[in-house]
């Protein structure tokens, strides 16, 4: 027998019992973004490889070893997007969205990175991200942080910690870089292989190392935050006071440099201790140099991306999938006439109660087998229609999850009787 073909390693199916939680999360996030009047943008999944090399940076985990890159039939090098910011900036430049305009955008979709698969780390994963363009001040940094905070509130997610830092300007980073290299040079023989390589090419990334053996060296390194000029200092202070004024607690983490090259000034991560090593659920910051780096006019920008798998994992662990996505009502139909008319009654109900999840029995069957299916559907009620009921102009309502009595409801005013039974979820 031929061997069944399996999904690609690290690429998961999201199954019907999981999608309700995904939908819940996506809907809530979308509602929050709408409430800040952000607009959605949809970019292609595949881009020119050069886009990522030029934006993310050649000496990053992503570009060095995580990209899905291939030549298409014309011999052009293409890459499955590993993140959304580069494509969003490319699209904004290409479509003239940045000419003297402010943009507040969001996107969602699958991203691809060839990493070692483990809990919370996949080769295809999903992000919802926000990118804003044309605003240089710290007020918009605060706004995107307020958005993230409101999202956690809206989905009922507690216990996340906000870590923030500032990377200053390119000049400040350059000055700092020299100091850092001088410091790290003292420990050259203790640096791991990655860090030794980065010492020459991208020493700030060494601070981002996850290697436990590197942590002591890293924690004693000079901090960029101490090298800031007046303007960067003020920018950062403004963001911090804004957070305090809005009762958002945070910690300043001077080692937070983010894995991508394009950040400047404010950077942040929302982290949890509930997902092991994969604790960052949302990450972002300011990237004022990226638009010009990709050929556009100089445009300040700030954004973030949330890792949806990690958020879903936390919600799942809390049992939040329970009760989501089931049918509310299952309609049992006995007899030829009931089958025909049942469909019409069901259609009328769906028109009158748009939020109702109503499943009609298909494929016939005895009462017993229909009630089995009703039970499996997760519905809390069955509506039972037989030729008897039809004649009397009624339908029977039978609770499936508790011991309430069966009731007869007049067909005339059915929706008025069904509406109050729905658990209001909004
Ligand atoms: P990490 O340090 O965990 O590798 P990162 O810095 O590479 O994260 P970003 O590029 O900032 O991640 O992406 C933003 C968010 O997307 C992350 O905080 C995380 O929640 C999620 N994410 C990143 N890579 C993956 C992955 N391979 N699988 C699942 N989620 C991911
Ligand atoms: Mg990574």
Give the closest residue to 226 by CA, choosing from 289, 183, 285, 197.
183
How far is ligand 2, taken at its centre, from the CA of residue 62, in Å? 7
What local confidence, expressed as pLDDT, does residue 283 receive? Answer: 96
> How far is residue 312's CA from residue 272's CA, in Å, rounded to a whole number?
13
- The pLDDT tens digits for 181-236 are 999 999 988 999 889 888 888 888 888 888 888 889 998 999 888 889 999 999 99
Q: Tell whether the torsion through CA atoms of 286, 200, 83 and 52 is positive or negative.
A: positive
Residues 402-411, mean pLDDT to the nearest whole number: 91
Query: How many Cβ atoms are within 10 Å of 421's Cβ, its own excluded?
Result: 14
- Of 101-105, 195-199, 398-402, least confident by mean pLDDT is 195-199
- Mutational pocket test of ligand 1: of 277, 280, 309, the residue with most ligand atoms within 8 Å of the beta carbon: 280
> How far is residue 147's CA from residue 36's CA, in Å, rounded to a whole number?
8
Mean pLDDT computed over every residue of the chain? 94
Ligand at minimal distance from the CA of 115 is 1
pLDDT band for position 259 (50/70/90)? low
What local confidence, expressed as pLDDT, does residue 424 receive? Answer: 53
- Mutational pocket test of ligand 1: of 131, 305, 312, the residue with most ligand atoms within 8 Å of the beta carbon: 305
Cβ of 380 below 6 Å from ligand 1:
no
Query: Please, are residues 261 and 60 in contact by the beta-carbon 8 Å criterion?
Result: yes
Cα distances from 98 to residues 132, 134, 297, 373, in angstroms, run: 10, 7, 8, 55
> How far is residue 56's CA from residue 37's CA, in Å, rounded to a whole number?
28
Cβ of 305 below 6 Å from ligand 1:
yes
How far is ligand 1, taken at its centre, from the CA of residue 307, in Å? 6
Beta strands in 91-154 (DSSP E): 103-112, 124-133
- The pLDDT tens digits for 87-97 are 999 999 999 99
Beta strands in 202-263 (DSSP E): 251-252
Cβ of 127 below 6 Å from ligand 1:
yes
How far is ligand 1, taken at its centre, from the CA of residue 309, in Å? 10
What local confidence, expressed as pLDDT, does residue 425 receive? Answer: 45
What local confidence, expressed as pLDDT, does residue 423 receive? Answer: 65
What local confidence, expressed as pLDDT, does residue 232 receive? Answer: 96
Residues 276-298, mean pLDDT to the nearest whole number: 94
What local confidence, expressed as pLDDT, does residue 426 receive? Answer: 41
The answer, as to whether pTM is greater than 0.85, is yes
List the structure tokens of 142. 């605060």
pLDDT at 38 over 50: yes
């Amino acid at each position: 027998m031929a061997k069944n073909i399996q999904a690609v390693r690290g690429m998961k199916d999201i199954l019907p019992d999981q999608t309700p939680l995904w939908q819940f999360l996506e809907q809530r996030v979308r509602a929050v973004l709408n409430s800040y009047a952000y607009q959605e943008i949809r970019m292609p999944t595949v881009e020119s490889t050069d886009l990522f090399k030029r934006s993310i940076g050649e000496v990053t985990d992503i570009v060095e070893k995580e990209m899905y890159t291939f030549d298409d039939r014309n011999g052009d090098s293409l890459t499955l997007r590993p993140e959304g910011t580069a494509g969003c900036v490319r699209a904004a430049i290409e479509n003239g969205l940045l000419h003297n305009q402010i943009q507040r955008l969001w996107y969602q979709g699958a991203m691809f990175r060839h990493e070692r698969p483990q809990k919370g780390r996949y080769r295809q994963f999903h992000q919802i991200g926000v990118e804003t363009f044309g605003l240089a001040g710290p007020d918009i940094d605060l706004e995107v942080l307020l958005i993230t905070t409101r999202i956690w509130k809206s989905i009922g997610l507690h216990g996340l910690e906000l870590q923030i830092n500032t990377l200053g300007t390119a000049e400040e980073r350059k000055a700092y870089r020299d100091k850092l290299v001088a410091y790290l040079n003292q420990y050259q023989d203790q640096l791991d292989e990655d860090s030794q390589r980065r010492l020459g090419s991208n020493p700030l990334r060494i601070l981002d190392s996850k290697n436990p053996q590197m942590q002591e060296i890293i924690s004693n390194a000079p901090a960029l935050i101490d090298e800031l000029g007046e303007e960067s200092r003020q920018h950062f202070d403004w963001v911090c006071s804004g957070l305090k004024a809005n009762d958002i607690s945070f910690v300043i983490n001077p080692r937070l440099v983010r894995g991508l090259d394009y950040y400047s000034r404010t950077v942040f991560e929302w982290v949890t201790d509930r997902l092991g090593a994969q604790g960052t659920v949302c990450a972002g910051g300011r990237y004022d140099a990226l638009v010009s780096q990709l050929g556009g006019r100089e445009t300040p920008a700030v954004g973030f991306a949330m890792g949806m798998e990690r958020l879903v994992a936390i919600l799942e662990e809390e049992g939040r999938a329970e009760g989501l996505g089931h049918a509310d009502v299952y309609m049992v139909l006995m007899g030829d006439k009931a089958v025909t008319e049942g469909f019409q009654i069901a259609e009328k109900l769906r028109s009158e109660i748009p939020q109702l999840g109503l499943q009609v029995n298909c494929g016939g069957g005895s009462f017993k087998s229909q009630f089995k299916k009703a039970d499996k559907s997760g519905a809390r009620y069955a509506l039972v229609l037989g030729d008897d009921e039809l004649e009397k102009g009624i339908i029977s309502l039978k609770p499936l999850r508790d011991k309430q009595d069966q009731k007869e409801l007049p067909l005339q005013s059915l929706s008025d009787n069904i509406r109050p039974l729905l658990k209001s979820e909004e």
